[in-house]
Chains A and B, each alone.
Chain A
Amino acid sequence: MEYQFDPNVRYAKSHEWVRVEGAEAIVGISDYAQHSLSDVVFIELPEIGRKVQQGQPCAVIESVKAAEDIYAPLSGEVIAVNAALERTPETVNQDPFGEGWLFRLRMDNPAELDDLLDAEAYQALVESEDK
C-alpha cells in the first residue's frame, strides 16, 4: 500500500501530524491513519479555549469501522477548529494534510516538537506497522 507522507510536517507515533506556523501549530491525522480508519463519518473536536496536554486524548474520530481517540501531539490551547468537518467529515479522507486539518493550537512548549518524528522516521514506523 502506498501512502502519502507530507515532508513539511512532523508526526506523532499515534499518527497525528503537526504543521508549525510561528507560535501556533495545525494538527491533523496522517494519510496512513485515514486509510486505516476508512470512511470518516464524525469527528468530535475539542472546544476552542481548551488546554490540551501532549499525549492526552483531545478528540474522537469515528469512521464506519471504528472510533479512535486523537491524541494531542503538543501541549497548548486550542485556538481554532475545522468546523467544516461537521458537515463534510469525508474531507479527512480526501485531503488529510490540507483541507482535512482538525484544530489549531497555540503551543505551550515548542521544545515538545523534538518528541515528534520527521517524515522519513514516520514512514519507517508506518512500514513496520503496515505488514
Chain B
Amino acid sequence: MNYIPNTDADRAAMLQAIGVGRVDELFHDVPMELRYPKLALPPAWSELDAQREMRALSDRNLDLNHASCFLGAGAYRHFIPSVVDFVISRSEFYTAYTPYQPEISQGTLQAIFEYQSMICALTGMEVANASHYDGATATAEAVIMALHVQHGDRRKVIVAPTLHPQYREVVRTYTQGMRLSIVGDETPGDGPGGLAGPEELAALCDDDTVALVVQVPDFLGGVVAPDRLRALADRVHRCGALLIAVANPIALGLLQPPGAWGADIVVGEGQALGNPLSFGGPYLGFFACRAEHVRRSSGRIVGQTVDLDGQRGFVLTLNTREQHIRRGKATSNICTNQSLNALAAAVYLAALGRQGLRQVAEQCYHKAHYAAAQIARLPGYTLLSGDFFHEFVVRCPRPVPDINRYLLHEWGIVGGYDLGRDYPSLAGHMLLCVTEVNSRQEIDQLAAALSQLDSSPAHVGQEVRR
C-alpha cells in the first residue's frame, strides 16, 4: 500500500465532494453518548515511564535468547537467517490480506508457486498447495481427502500411536459426523512404551480402510528404515487405501522423501522452516499429494501458465472451485492459507538451499545423538530410543514435571516434554529435542544438571537463574 498524506485543504475538498461539512458528521449513526465514553483510567504516564514499566514487566519473562531449550514435540527452534524477516517484512507481502487477483499479484503468486515447488521437492510429491493452518489441520485435511478418493465408501482410518497426540485429536474433531472409525492409537508393539510400529499397523489394514497415517520421524523422534516404510506402503496400497505421511521438513533434508517409499499424501508442520516458535503460532501446515488426486485436494493452489502473449504468469488454479464452483459439493471448507508463514518457509529454503538444509539436518542429528549419549551415561537415566533424528526418549529417575521445574529454576534450562501426559506407558519418560542452535556447552550443562538432580533441594526457588 502507498502512503498518501493529506492536508486540511485535501480533507476539506473531500468533505465538499461528498457533501459533508465536518468529519464528525460521518459518525452520526453512532449515538453521541457512545462516541466519547468516559473511561476509568489512572492518570496518564509519560511515554518514557510507560516504556520503563512495560520493559520491567517483559524482563520478568524468560525467553529463549536467555535460556537453553530442549523442548520440541512438534514445535522446533531453529536458526532463522535475517533474510527471512527482511523479505517477509516488505510492505508488499506484510499485509493481513493476501491479494490473489493475478492482474495485480504476480509477485505474491510467484512466491507461493515457488513455496509449493520446494515442498514438492522435499516431499517427493507432484502437487503441493499454498498451505494450511498448521500440521494438525493439514493432517485432518489429508484424511478427509483420502475418504473422498475412496468415494466415501470406506470407514476405517488407521493412525499410528506415534502420530502427534494433538494431531490425532484434531483428526477426530475434523471428521466428527463422517461416521469414520479412527483406530490404531492403542495398538501395542515393540517400539518405546510398547507402541506399534509399521508392521503392527500394517496388520490392521483391510478393504474398509480409507488411509493409514504415519509420522516420520515419529512423535518420539524415531526413524524407521525406508524398506520397512516401503513394505507398509505396499500393504496399504494392496488394501486399496492411501498412505498419509506426516513429515518433519527439516528431517527431509536428510531422510528419503516420503514419495520415494510410497506415500500418497505428505503433510506436516512447516514452522521449523524459517518460522519462530512464537507461543505456538501462527504456523503453517504443508500439504502435498500425487497429481492423480489433485482434484480431491483442499486449499489453494497457485499454478503457472502463459498469458495471451505467451509470457509466463501465475494464477490460482483448481481450488477456487471449493468456494465458487463446488459449493455444497466441496469436500473441505478451507478457503485460505498461511501465506506469510509459507513465504517465510520459502525464503528459508531458498536461503539454505539443498546443501544448507542437509547441513541443518545433520547438525540436529549429530548434536541430538551426542546429547543422548551423554544422558544415557548418567545413573538413573535410560535411553529408550533406537534410531532417531533429533528427539529421543529418556526414562527419568523422578517425575518429569519435577525435573523440568528444577531445570528451569536452578539452571535456566527449558527441559523436555512429559510423555506421561499422552502415553500412560511412558509416564516418567521425557522427550528431549536438540537442534543446531543448541551448543555443545548447553548440552553438557543439561547433562550436568540432570546428574546433580539427586543433590538438589527438595523444593526449588521461584526466581529463574540467568
Contact = CB atoms under 8 A, between A and B. Distances in A.
Interface of A: 42, 44, 47, 60, 62-67, 69
Interface string B313-345: 000000001000111010000000000000000
B329 A67 contact: yes
B326 A67 contact: yes
Contacts of B325: 62-67
The secondary structure that dominates the A interface is: strand
Given A47-B151, A62-B321, A67 B327 contact: yes
B66 interface: no
A44 B326 contact: no
A11 B348 CA distance: 58
A62 B326 CA distance: 8
The secondary structure that dominates the B interface is: helix
Contacts of A62: 321, 325-326
A66 B329 CA distance: 10
A63 B321 CA distance: 10
A62 B331 CA distance: 14
A64 B325 CA distance: 7
Given A44-B295, A62-B325, A66-B325, 9 more contacts: A47-B151, A62-B321, A62-B326, A63-B325, A64-B325, A67-B325, A67-B326, A67-B327, A69-B329
In order of increasing CB-CB distance, the 8 nearest A-B pairs are A67-B326, A67-B329, A67-B325, A62-B325, A42-B295, A66-B325, A60-B329, A62-B321
Nearest to A69: B329
A83 to B, nearest CB: 13
17 contacts: A42-B295, A44-B295, A47-B151, A60-B329, A62-B321, A62-B325, A62-B326, A63-B325, A64-B325, A65-B325, A66-B325, A67-B321, A67-B325, A67-B326, A67-B327, A67-B329, A69-B329
Contacts of B295: 42, 44
A65 B329 CA distance: 13
A44 B331 CA distance: 14
A70 to B, nearest CB: 12
B290 to A, nearest CB: 15
A10 to B, nearest CB: 27
Nearest to B330: A67
A62 B295 CA distance: 11
A87 to B, nearest CB: 13
A42 B321 CA distance: 11
B303 to A, nearest CB: 13
Nearest to A50: B151
Contacts of A44: 295
Name the residue in A42, A44, A67, A69 with the highest tally of chain B Cβ atoms < 10 Å from its Cβ. A67
A57 to B, nearest CB: 10
Nearest to B328: A67
A63 B324 CA distance: 11
Nearest to B296: A44
A42 to B, nearest CB: 6
A36 B186 CA distance: 52
Contacts of B326: 62, 67
A88 to B, nearest CB: 16
